[in-house]
Chain A
């Protein structure tokens, strides 16, 4: 039975952290406001990542002015499909993924058809700031569509699985796999009913999962067990996430990474105030991971040293799991 209200003592023992604590101790303390711009605007993030050699989905084009709108049809014609995103969007709102042109329009990733005029309207909405923070005018970003590797096909329902790694002062501390479900409409967004699965930080092997903050151990749509799947390119992803700290200077970061079938792991975006649902996916609070890192001066450490340190802290909290 799910208790209506939990025992506070048990939550404290597990070091579960609330939004107030995250905002005060992590976001306000470690993320200077002037740096947040670097991750809020995806086009800036992308440029930073390219400069640092972190692979990202290729940029097809940006639409800022009505003049740019003339290029829309040409950009959409790119073989392999494109993803349209608001540069300043949050929580995956306003993202449309187009796979290929069909008669009278384009096919979306979820199989539906959309007309060109509907697409133009969507881009106009993005530009007028419908999805941006504070409703400010925004830029629409068109990126190459990522062709997802098949590793997680057994535990995904349509859409886009991605990997979220939390990086504290450059040290990757916890990670989770986010899986789309039927209710989340192909999006790996936990708010919308996506599934979060804790990942073993040392090996990238999946543990148990959660949906709507409740604990699950099978994918709700495919019924396959969530536990024991090995994430490929794991070391590479950890180092991409750790590097993101050097690039942005933000002390509390969420790095969202997808695996492309051809290009391997790609940094999708960075988040300057990553959520706390990852605690449920990992079945343990964040505090145990955070305190040792906060106490340590990480400024002189290399990427490899920081990854090793994060894994050491992780092992002091969790027992490792092995791939099945």
Chain B
């Protein structure tokens, strides 16, 4: 039927063909989506989930044919804390688990006799976050009578006694004494006694350890916890250290930088997360990502994974860093969909076809307002240079190169200036796409010369408006959540684009363009 009509009425066939294809894609996407949402009870909104986190420790190093021993702390298990779905990727390495180490730590120990070349070790698990109300283990909750002063040299003991007597004089009870001690310890100007006592460790462990020792002498059980702050998903999470102690019947935590609402301790004590022997170029990467599947402790083990249809569409088995990349990648089609709509139905003029979406992706690094400011600033500077270069009569490609180098230079200057003034945009600028900026400048200057400044501004502003819209859509948490957990929606987007590809009606801008034609004569 399709083939026979093809010979005679090509328009009708391609029309019908694309409609059938679009309908098929949309139906398939919607079917899988509904199957997951209704039959398998996947939550549709991100806030329906109780947050469960996927944690990954990735250790990369180069080995040189020498015996290698890598020790890494793992999150500790306890009665209140459950680790689901622990996975080790060890390659040829031997793996031993040290379940009951000092301070209640757990350790994985990887060993291999003659490794060669670059190696990767990986650990993954799913865990529940902790908050400030999470109780400390029972052995931490027994206050005792206090211990001896632990300092070795007489100078230290002297300084300690002076400091403590000062603190005792200035405080009313043990609780205010501890508060005062911590406040003094983490203020910028240390008194001489405190400076003499600070432990020879990297900050902030030097002061945390001193605080812990002081608490011990006061009979307050205390420990140093190392872990990650969960307030935001990051590709690379940094480990931070804090102090946990129990005073006057209450569990307390002291964070040196702000007070996070959710966090997770990984290990206790003064050691580093990973300890390696016999390797070079060691790099450790911790990543965290909120997991959708929750609503029960066992849910994170992967609801739909038994369903063969769904395992095709699930990103659960990928490494976390890759998952985070996909979380961003999957939102890009949504931005493209908006762009197609704005071009085919509204008729907004932009510089370059997909340029606005690329700019929108770049805004991810900077957030919207700073992104817009930076972008306009850099375009302005670049255009000024471009008009100056016009006088020098350079060939096209070298001229583009000069503009690009200039853009990098401007970015470097902006970063340094903002870093000095303490504004944070400097850090986020790093990956701002210079090539896109350079091409935008070139196109804009050509439009400027061939038409006029107004036309160039119109197209530039059009691009920025579309970029902002796509950025807002692509970073919307609901969109991010839906696209990542229901990637079958890509089929729906594809179908919609197919349908829009056959839209023959007027664009909104054309209605305005032809407005004079619409007056009856």
List the interface of chain A (C-beta within 8 A of B): 2-8, 10-11, 14, 16, 18-21, 24-25, 29, 93, 117-118, 121, 124-125, 128-130, 135, 191-192, 210, 213-215, 279-280, 283-285
| B387 CB–A CB distance under 8 Å | no
What are 19 residue pairs bridging A and B, where the CB atoms are less than 8 Å apart in the complex? A2-B515, A3-B519, A5-B511, A6-B512, A14-B518, A16-B514, A16-B517, A16-B518, A18-B504, A18-B505, A20-B503, A29-B11, A124-B395, A129-B396, A135-B396, A214-B516, A279-B514, A284-B517, A285-B517
Nearest A residue (CB) for B345: A20
Nearest A residue (CB) for B512: A5
Inter-chain contact A10/B506, CB cutoff 8 Å: no
Nearest A residue (CB) for B503: A20
Nearest B residue (CB) for A6: B518
Which residues of the partner chain A approach B507 to less than 8 Å between Cβ atoms?
Answer: 18-20
Question: Contact flags (1/0) for B369-396 with A, using CB distance below 8 Å?
Answer: 0000000000000000000000001011
Task: With A117-B393, A128-B397 as known contacts, state yes or no: A8 contacts B506, CB within 8 Å.
Answer: yes
Distance of A125 Cα from B450 Cα, bound (Å):
14
Inter-chain contact A3/B517, CB cutoff 8 Å: no
| Least distance between B140 CB and chain A CB atoms (Å) | 67
Which residues of the partner chain B approach A283 to less than 8 Å between Cβ atoms?
Answer: 517, 521
Task: With A10-B518, A213-B513 as known contacts, state yes or no: A20 contacts B395, CB within 8 Å.
Answer: no
Inter-chain contact A130/B396, CB cutoff 8 Å: yes
| Least distance between B267 CB and chain A CB atoms (Å) | 56
Task: With A18-B505, A18-B506, A125-B396 as known contacts, state yes or no: A6 contacts B451, CB within 8 Å.
Answer: no
| B296 CB–A CB distance under 8 Å | no
List the interface of chain B (C-beta within 8 A of A): 10-11, 344, 347, 393, 395-397, 446, 450-451, 502-507, 510-521
Extra contacts, 13 of them, besides A10-B517, A10-B520, A283-B517 (Cβ < 8 A), are A5-B511, A6-B516, A6-B518, A10-B519, A14-B517, A16-B506, A20-B507, A24-B504, A29-B11, A213-B514, A279-B517, A283-B521, A285-B517
Inter-chain contact A6/B396, CB cutoff 8 Å: no
Contact for A20 among B344, B514, B521, CB less than 8 A: B344
Which residues of the partner chain B approach A24 to less than 8 Å between Cβ atoms?
Answer: 502, 504
Nearest A residue (CB) for B455: A191
Which residues of the partner chain B approach A192 to less than 8 Å between Cβ atoms?
Answer: 450-451
Q: How many A-B residue pairs have CB under 8 A?
A: 91
| Least distance between A121 CB and chain B CB atoms (Å) | 4
Which residues of the partner chain B approach A130 to less than 8 Å between Cβ atoms?
Answer: 396, 446
Inter-chain contact B511/A6, CB cutoff 8 Å: yes
Contact for B515 among A3, A14, A118, A135, CB less than 8 A: A3
Which residues of the partner chain A approach B506 to less than 8 Å between Cβ atoms?
Answer: 8, 11, 16, 18, 20
Which residues of the partner chain A approach B521 to less than 8 Å between Cβ atoms?
Answer: 283
Closest 6 CB pairs of A and B: A6-B518, A128-B396, A6-B515, A121-B393, A18-B506, A10-B518
Distance of A149 Cα from B404 Cα, bound (Å):
48
Distance of A18 Cα from B512 Cα, bound (Å):
11
Contact for B511 among A11, A210, A285, CB less than 8 A: A11
| Least distance between B117 CB and chain A CB atoms (Å) | 43
Which residues of the partner chain A approach B517 to less than 8 Å between Cβ atoms?
Answer: 6, 10-11, 14, 16, 279-280, 283-285
Inter-chain contact A18/B516, CB cutoff 8 Å: no
Inter-chain contact B518/A7, CB cutoff 8 Å: yes
Distance of A280 Cα from B511 Cα, bound (Å):
12
Inter-chain contact B504/A6, CB cutoff 8 Å: no
Inter-chain contact A5/B504, CB cutoff 8 Å: no
| Least distance between B470 CB and chain A CB atoms (Å) | 21
Distance of A227 Cα from B161 Cα, bound (Å):
106
| Least distance between B390 CB and chain A CB atoms (Å) | 9
| Least distance between A257 CB and chain B CB atoms (Å) | 23
Distance of A30 Cα from B494 Cα, bound (Å):
26
Distance of A84 Cα from B148 Cα, bound (Å):
95
Which residues of the partner chain B approach A279 to less than 8 Å between Cβ atoms?
Answer: 514, 517
Which residues of the partner chain B approach A19 to less than 8 Å between Cβ atoms?
Answer: 347, 507, 510
| Least distance between B501 CB and chain A CB atoms (Å) | 8
Distance of A16 Cα from B513 Cα, bound (Å):
11
Most chain B beta-carbon neighbours within 10 Å: one of A4, A16, A124, A284? A16
